[in-house]
Amino acid sequence: MSALASLRLHTVAPSELAGVWRGSALAQQAQATISSGHDLLDRELPGHGWPLGQLTEILQAQPGLHEWRLLWPALRDAVHSGPLVLIGSPHLPNLPALASLGVPANKILRIDARTPAERLWAAEQTLRCCELGALLVWLPQARTEQLRRLQLAGNSAQGAQALVFALRPIEAQHESSPAPLRLEVRGGQSQGLSVQLLKRRGPAMDQALLLAAPLPVLAALRRQPGGLKDKPHAVDRPERARPARHLHSAA
């Protein structure tokens, strides 16, 4: 009997596929996450939230433009585990507004670092801290190997429990990145944000997401007694105005 004739087909049981991720579906591995605070976005993120201990790359046209509107709901939850560290922040954060939203000033640490090397070094050292809630590092320039070091540092025993965000210019979308999750954020209508998932562990998206995300100071005023009254604003929904751009980034 030939070797080919002696081969038998083996039917794989569903239980044997438990650890297998198919590219046509969102990854469902046991990844610790924190809700983004935007239901529509959570439904499209692997693990249904921002990953802990994994580098998430957010691209936007101008630093300091949209990141607080997108991230403050998750940062509010993350600071229960440790401080929020800002490296290379282009502007001073609005501490009173953030405090009203649940991110107290004594939980925020701002590190001034000018060059890309200084910012990356400070980020790596921060991820080695025993207690850390979230790290935001603004990197207008960074090479792929430098981002890979940041991704590996986020996977360390200490950094694995923290949110790790790299804020980069939109032009960086043409560069490869080791970040498992990449998003492009633009201003939407009626205080909304247009969010395009450029890279995720899951199928490519054909539409951007339009999220209701007011400025933190406006969100804080609405929470105050006698503050701003609610007005019609953007509702989380898919956005059809701009086609998606599918990018293949090296891991």
Q: What is the residue-wise DSSP string for 172-240?
A: GGGS----SEEEEEEE-STTEEEEEEEE-SSPPPSEEEEEE---HHHHHHHHSTT-PPP------EEEE
* Distance from C-alpha of 155 to C-alpha of 138, rounded to nearest angstrom: 19
In angstroms, the Cα distances linking 172 to 40, 139, 243 are 25, 10, 19
Tokens 């030939």, located at residue: 2
Say which residue, 157 or 114, is predicted with more confidence: 114
Q: What b-and-e string marks burial along 223-240, b requiring 16 or more CB atoms within 10 Å of the CB?
A: eeeeeeeeeeebebeebe
Mean of pLDDT values over 139-153:
91
Q: What b-and-e string marks burial along 150-181, b requiring 16 or more CB atoms within 10 Å of the CB?
A: bbebbeeebbbbbbbbbbbeeebbeeebbbbb
Query: pLDDT digits over 161-217, tens only?
Result: 899 999 999 999 999 899 999 999 998 766 789 999 999 988 888 899 999 887 787
Mean of pLDDT values over 10-16:
45
Angle between helices 216-223 and 67-78 (to 10 degrees): 60
Cα angle at 61 between 56 and 74, to 5 degrees? 35
The per-residue pLDDT of the chain, averaged, comes to 81
Distance of CA 241 to the CA centre of its chain: 23
* Distance from C-alpha of 83 to C-alpha of 67, rounded to nearest angstrom: 18
Query: Hey, which of 70-74, 93-97, 210-214, 235-239 has the most confident mean pLDDT?
Result: 70-74
Query: pLDDT digits over 21-48, tens only?
Result: 455 555 555 679 999 999 999 999 999 9
Q: What pLDDT was estimated at residue 157?
A: 67
The pLDDT-based confidence of 244 (bands split at 50, 70, 90) is very low
Domains of the chain: 32-184 (3.40.50.300)
